[in-house]
């Protein structure tokens, strides 16, 4: 119930406008992001790099309704890719399609995506397409398939709580895809999404095993977008049984969450990436982070105290 309540609050524009101005909220959100400015994200990435941990950069924001704003987002990411190259950061970018104007002009969104993929290829990295709510899944997969034909350095995020995802994985495997597998963080009906945590975990592991098995005979880059170390270690055991190393998949965790485990896993031979979010449009994203682990609500409440 707490999770569903938090996801409901995430969609409130009225709350977003007020909470983002509150000082206590800005203190609380610093747990999950180094700062609102890109320089804070770049500096954090440089620090992670010294510990053998790579970075995925994502500027917060979604559902852009003005094409000029979408154009500005694309230019911003081009600049970030330039900084990644100039500073020698092991970094890639992760973008929501609606941030590039999917809701306004799908062709312009596609053009932005391919421009970014071409620039990312110069840096030696990938452009990850984030998955948004279920209403966008078909268009997002179609966008990925189109972009992948021209740019093999485009990846996509899939959500394990959606019942359709097993079919989506089978559809995409022939492309030799890069897939970030997450559990899912939107409010979806039981008719299309698993609601029980154990069911989501079981589907997550089954999907991950399918992709690791496929990597034995073809190119599949799998990123585990989870903080559930138990699931990560279960997959590592499956990979070992197949004769594959821990580096046959990646661990992709969010900034500020289980950083001790990120460092431990990196030292143990796992490929670890830290997803660093930044920007001022953090309210819906932050509420979804709280919903993923309601125990974080206690931390947020503590930030309301005047000390």
Q: Which residues are catalytic?
A: 130, 180
3-class secondary-structure state, position 2: helix
Full DSSP string of 116-176: HHHHHHHHT--EEE---SGGGHHHHHHHHHHHHHH-TTEEEEEETTBTTHHHHHHHHGGG-
> What does the angle CA 49 – CA 256 – CA 96 come to, to the nearest 5 degrees?
85
Please state whether beta strands 271-278 and 91-95 pair in parallel, antiparallel, or not at all (unpaired).
unpaired
Q: Is 13 exposed, middle or buried (0-12, 13-18, 19+ CB in 10 A)?
A: exposed
Query: Tokens at residue 17, please?
Result: 């406008």
Give the residue among 21, 34, 108 at the shortest CA–CA distance from 72.
108
How far apart are alpha carbons 84 and 88 in whole angstroms? 6
């Amino acid at each position: 119930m707490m999770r569903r309540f938090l996801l409901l609050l995430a969609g409130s524009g009225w709350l977003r406008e007020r909470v983002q101005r509150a000082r206590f909220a800005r203190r609380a959100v610093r747990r999950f992001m180094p700062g609102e400015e890109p320089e804070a994200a770049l500096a954090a990435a440089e620090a992670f790099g010294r510990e053998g941990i790579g970075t995925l950069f994502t500027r917060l924001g979604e559902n852009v309704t003005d094409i000029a704003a979408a154009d500005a987002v694309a230019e911003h990411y081009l600049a970030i890719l330039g900084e990644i190259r100039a500073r020698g950061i092991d970094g890639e970018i992760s973008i929501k399609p609606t941030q590039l104007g999917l809701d306004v002009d799908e062709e312009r969104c596609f053009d932005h995506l391919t421009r970014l993929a071409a620039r990312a290829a110069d840096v030696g990295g990938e452009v990850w397409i984030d998955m948004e709510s279920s209403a966008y899944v078909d268009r997002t997969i179609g966008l990925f398939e189109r972009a992948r034909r021209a740019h093999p350095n485009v990846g996509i995020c899939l959500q394990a709580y959606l019942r359709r995802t097993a079919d989506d994985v089978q559809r995409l495997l022939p492309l030799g895809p890069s897939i970030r597998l997450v559990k899912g963080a939107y409010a979806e009906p039981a008719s299309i999404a698993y609601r029980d945590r154990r069911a989501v975990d079981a589907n997550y592991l089954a999907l991950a095993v399918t992709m690791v098995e496929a990597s034995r005979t073809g190119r599949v880059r799998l990123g585990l977008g989870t903080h559930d170390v138990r699931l990560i270690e279960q997959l590592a055991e499956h990979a070992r049984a197949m004769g594959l190393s821990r580096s046959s998949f990646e661990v992709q965790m969010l900034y500020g969450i289980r950083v001790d485990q990120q460092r431990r896993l990196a030292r143990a031979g796992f490929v670890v990436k830290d997803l660093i979010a930044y920007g001022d449009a953090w309210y819906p994203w932050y509420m979804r982070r709280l919903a993923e682990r309601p125990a974080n609500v206690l931390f947020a409440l503590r930030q309301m105290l005047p000390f």
